[in-house]
Structure 1
Amino acid sequence: MVNLNQALPYVGVTPFQLISALAILIVGYVIARAVVGAFKRALRKTKLPPLVVEFLGRFLAIGLYLIVLIVALGAVGISVSPVILGLSAVVGLILGFGLQDTLTNLAAGVWLAALRPVDIGEVVEVAGKTGKVNNIGLMGTELLMPDNKLITIPNKLVWGSVITNYTRMPTRRVDVDIGVAYGTDLDRAIKLAMDLMRGHPKVLNEPEPSVVITALADSSINLQLRAWAKTEDYWAVKGDLTRGIYELYTREGIEIPFPQLDVHLKNE
């Protein structure tokens, strides 16, 4: 009959200790899974985004599995103090060197998921790139570029950059710049531009469109048409107004100058 308290040869561990360690691993794993599942279900009832819930759940699972492993090692007679010290040293080295950028990206990913300065489907400019947000992951944010290229920007660059969100607001102001020649009847030029904007079906009445003089340039008086439109109509309105003001001024005899350089040759 096998003596459960007699140490096995070459191992120095009793069968009872092995059985206890195995039972701890199995029961601990089941309990850890149940605790993590309950933790996630509780978080899902809050207003936290799913990304944050999954992120916190994974960290809790790793911590619980490490605790179960340490308890199992203690059950077979292994001193856990050196193990804990060793793990602490390894984790410290990893955090200090290998995973420094990784943890920074993870932390930035949590903030992005929690505060949502950008969201999936929005068009944003971040880290010098402009595109539609395709996905926000734990490590990086995917942008779909206008030419259908998919790029991934590390979350630390997204969180650490100025973010311009082009589609978050329901309306946008459409600015169209155009120059008229010196000597032009500005009142007439402004009235024509105002009539053009007010006659466009996608230009909003509120806020009211306007025309402002932006500069007295070298070759022209620069005007800017400012019209408000729904965000989804922005590019259609901008294209229509840009073409429309050019054709209108040409038809009405208002000169749209271009930069010129007069060169005078002096004969000695």
Structure 2
Amino acid sequence: MVLIHDLRLLLAHGWRALLCALVLACAAPAFAVLPEAALGGEEPAEAEAEGEVAAEIAQTSDEGEDTRIRQRIEAIYSVLPAFENVEVEVSEGVVSLVGTLPDAEAIDRAEEIAANIAGVVTVDNGIERDLSVAQNLSILSEATELAQKALAALPLLAVAVAVALAIGALGYFIAGLGFIWNRIAPNAFLAELIRGAIRLVFVVVAIVVALDLLGAGALLGAVLGGAGLIGLAVGFAMRDTAENYVASIMLSLRQPFRPNDHVLIDDLEGRVIRLTSRATVLMTLEGNHLRIPNAQVFKAVILNYTRNPQRRFDFELGVDADDDPRAAMKVGTDALAALSFVLADPAPAARITQVGDSNIVIFFIGWIDQREADWFKSRSLAIAAVKEALEDEGFALPEPIYRLRFDGRTDPLPIGRTGTLSEAQPKKSASAARTVAEDVQPESEISELVEAERRGDGDQANDLLDESRPVE
């Protein structure tokens, strides 16, 4: 019975053991395909990095690699004379540099050369700067070398200078052909401007050719660039001067007036002495010199009194409001026509311009020839003649009438007669009062001063006024 019970227990536990064995057999292929990380091993990236480091270490650890690196660096240093005193040691790809060099730039260059060699892991730069006097006086040798190069380049330099001088001389010769430029240019000022431009162009061409022969193209670009910047700065600084200069050229072409012309430029009046490259010089009617910048003259309104010999004068006179203004106009124009200096063509005229409280204002007009009569004198005598003619014909020339009113609430003013009125003296007739001769000859003092100054001034070459050219 005991035996039978044991068999039953064995069978009951046996099928369970068999089931566990089957499960383990099926799970074995799955464990085989799992990554090592799932099984507690290292990651693939770390394993790959360790493999590369191991390969690199294996490469640099080559016994012949250090020797090759050292020989390569020494061979390069031997070609460069400045690095002859540098010692090189290589261990496991680490380069150690020992020695002295004259400056920090050479030390950095030595390290850069060593670092660029294949197989070098790092560079231990132990090079120190040589502060000895003998080593740092190498600049003298460099200066000597430069002097030797300059001496060797003297023939080429002589050729470049000769070519530049030849080009410049040709430009000055062409500019010196004055008869050509004086014929082409409208005046001497523009002719000289053309000659100066020709000389400048040839000088610039000469410099460019000389520098090109010497192989100094970079220097040429720097010079031209600097000249452009300087020219721009000078242009801004001398803007007003340049404006006057350009205006002088335009005025010399336009010729708006002649010497000794009586002109009014804006509100500045006088007679023209000369037109220079910067200003117009006038002599005022008071005999003073007046210099006006040409830029202002070019933009100004110019009134030339001398251009037309006939000039009109005008004035106003008032007659009593009760008088006949048409009769007064007729008397006034007849008086003007009777004057010898007043032109008959255009004939004198009169117009009514205003009717006031106590008078009628009449505007009288007359014309003169400025070559024979002075404008100021003629106008003064004409006013006097018309006034006298109107008074002779019984026309009153009233003054403004003012009415005064006194307040009756105040005390009367102590106004009384302190004497007797004297009998009025008979008024002299207008014709009897005309005792002054009619002197209307043109004033010539200012004109003579201008002519004397132009004759005595030796700076006629700078005068841009040309009487042979037409006036604008």
TM range (shorter): 0.7 to 0.9
The 2-side partners of 1:177 and 1:152 are apart by 35
Task: Give the equivalent residue in structure 1 for 2:351.
Answer: 212
- 8 Å CA contact 2:271, 2:283 repeated in 1: yes
Task: Give the equivalent residue in structure 1 for 2:283.
Answer: 144
Task: Give the equivalent residue in structure 2 for 1:245.
Answer: 386
Per the TM alignment, residue 174 of structure 1 is displaced from its structure 2 partner at its CA by: 1.6
Q: Normalising by structure 1, report the TM-score.
A: 0.82
- 8 Å CA contact 1:52, 1:114 repeated in 2: no
- SS of the residue 2:192 aligns to: helix
- 8 Å CA contact 1:8, 1:15 repeated in 2: no
Supply the AA of the counterpart residue of 2:180.
A
* 1:40-92 alpha-carbon deviations (Å, 9 max, x no partner): 53353357244433344434444444444444555555432221121111112
The correspondence of residues 1-268 of structure 1 with structure 2, limited to 5 A, is: 9=147, 12=150, 14-20=153-159, 22-24=161-163, 26-38=165-177, 41-45=179-183, 48-74=186-212, 78=216, 79-95=219-235, 97-232=236-371, 233=373, 234-268=375-409
Q: Normalising by structure 2, report the TM-score.
A: 0.49
- SS of the residue 1:193 aligns to: helix
- 8 Å CA contact 1:112, 1:118 repeated in 2: no
Per the TM alignment, residue 98 of structure 1 is displaced from its structure 2 partner at its CA by: 0.8
> Against the structure 1 CA distance between its residues 11 and 178, is the aligned structure 2 distance closer, same or farther, given a 3 Å change threshold?
farther
- 8 Å CA contact 1:209, 1:227 repeated in 2: yes
- 8 Å CA contact 1:176, 1:242 repeated in 2: yes
- SS of the residue 1:12 aligns to: helix
The 1-side partners of 2:241 and 2:229 are apart by 18
Larger relative helix fraction:
2
Per the TM alignment, residue 11 of structure 1 is displaced from its structure 2 partner at its CA by: 8.8
Per the TM alignment, residue 26 of structure 1 is displaced from its structure 2 partner at its CA by: 4.4
State which drifts further: 128-137 or 254-263.
254-263
What root-mean-square deviation, in Å, do the aligned CA atoms of Structure 1 and Structure 2 show?
A: 2.8
The 1-side partners of 2:396 and 2:272 are apart by 42
> Against the structure 1 CA distance between its residues 230 and 93, is the aligned structure 2 distance closer, same or farther, given a 3 Å change threshold?
same
> Against the structure 1 CA distance between its residues 93 and 47, is the aligned structure 2 distance closer, same or farther, given a 3 Å change threshold?
closer
- SS of the residue 2:315 aligns to: strand
The 2-side partners of 1:172 and 1:188 are apart by 26
> Against the structure 1 CA distance between its residues 88 and 243, is the aligned structure 2 distance closer, same or farther, given a 3 Å change threshold?
same
> Against the structure 1 CA distance between its residues 219 and 93, is the aligned structure 2 distance closer, same or farther, given a 3 Å change threshold?
farther
- SS of the residue 1:224 aligns to: strand
Gaps of 5+ in 2: 1-144, 410-472
Supply the AA of the counterpart residue of 2:326.
D
State which drifts further: 21-30 or 233-242.
21-30
Per the TM alignment, residue 130 of structure 1 is displaced from its structure 2 partner at its CA by: 1.0
Q: What percent of counterpart residues are identical?
A: 23
Gaps of 5+ in 1: 1-6
Look at both structures and tell me which one has the larger radius of gyration over its CA atoms. 2
Number of residue-to-residue matches in the alignment:
260
- SS of the residue 2:271 aligns to: strand
State which drifts further: 11-20 or 29-38.
11-20
- 8 Å CA contact 2:274, 2:281 repeated in 1: yes
- Segments of 4+ moved more than 6 angstroms: none
> Against the structure 1 CA distance between its residues 186 and 109, is the aligned structure 2 distance closer, same or farther, given a 3 Å change threshold?
same
Supply the AA of the counterpart residue of 1:86.
G
The 1-side partners of 2:378 and 2:172 are apart by 55
- 8 Å CA contact 2:348, 2:367 repeated in 1: yes
State which drifts further: 17-26 or 219-228.
17-26
> Against the structure 1 CA distance between its residues 254 and 84, is the aligned structure 2 distance closer, same or farther, given a 3 Å change threshold?
same
Per the TM alignment, residue 224 of structure 1 is displaced from its structure 2 partner at its CA by: 1.9
Per the TM alignment, residue 241 of structure 1 is displaced from its structure 2 partner at its CA by: 0.9
Supply the AA of the counterpart residue of 1:41.
F
Supply the AA of the counterpart residue of 2:404.
V
Per the TM alignment, residue 18 of structure 1 is displaced from its structure 2 partner at its CA by: 4.8
> Against the structure 1 CA distance between its residues 28 and 130, is the aligned structure 2 distance closer, same or farther, given a 3 Å change threshold?
same
> Against the structure 1 CA distance between its residues 16 and 45, is the aligned structure 2 distance closer, same or farther, given a 3 Å change threshold?
same
Supply the AA of the counterpart residue of 1:146.
L
- 8 Å CA contact 2:168, 2:199 repeated in 1: no
- 8 Å CA contact 1:25, 1:69 repeated in 2: yes
